[in-house]
Amino acid sequence: MKLVNVSQAKAQLSSLIEAAELGEQVLIMRGSRPAVTLMKVTEEDLSFHPEVPIDALNDFEAEIQQERKKRRKA
């Protein structure tokens, strides 16, 4: 498993994606905390995620925007 910080990930994104496609897990850290993992997507992974209706995505985006507005006011 590769460990990189966000700055390194930005600079090396293409090579990190390539490593993930070859099967290596890449852990991106934000400071001392794990933020995300890059890993290869398989056909099996795709079968577990049915397509999401666009209305659901729009509703989710609206919720995110409302949360951001609340945080700015606080």
pLDDT computed for residue 42 by the predictor: 81
Q: Which tens digits make up the pLDDT trace of 36-69?
A: 999 998 877 767 666 767 777 788 888 988 988 8
Instruction: Spell 45-57 as b/e; 16+ CB within 10 A means b.
Output: eeeeeeeeeeeee
Q: Which tens digits make up the pLDDT trace of 2-41?
A: 999 999 999 999 999 999 999 999 999 999 999 999 999 8
List, edge to edge, every strand of the sheet that includes 26-30. 2-5, 26-30, 33-38
The domain spans of the chain are 2-73
Q: Tell me the CATH architecture of domain 2-73.
A: 3-Layer(aba) Sandwich (3.40)
pLDDT at 74 > cutoff 80: no
Which residues are within 8 A (CB) of 20 and not within 5 positions of it... i.e. 6 or more apart? 26, 38, 39, 40
pLDDT computed for residue 43 by the predictor: 77
pLDDT computed for residue 52 by the predictor: 65
Q: How far is CA 59 from CA 29, 68, 70, 73, in A?
A: 30, 14, 17, 22
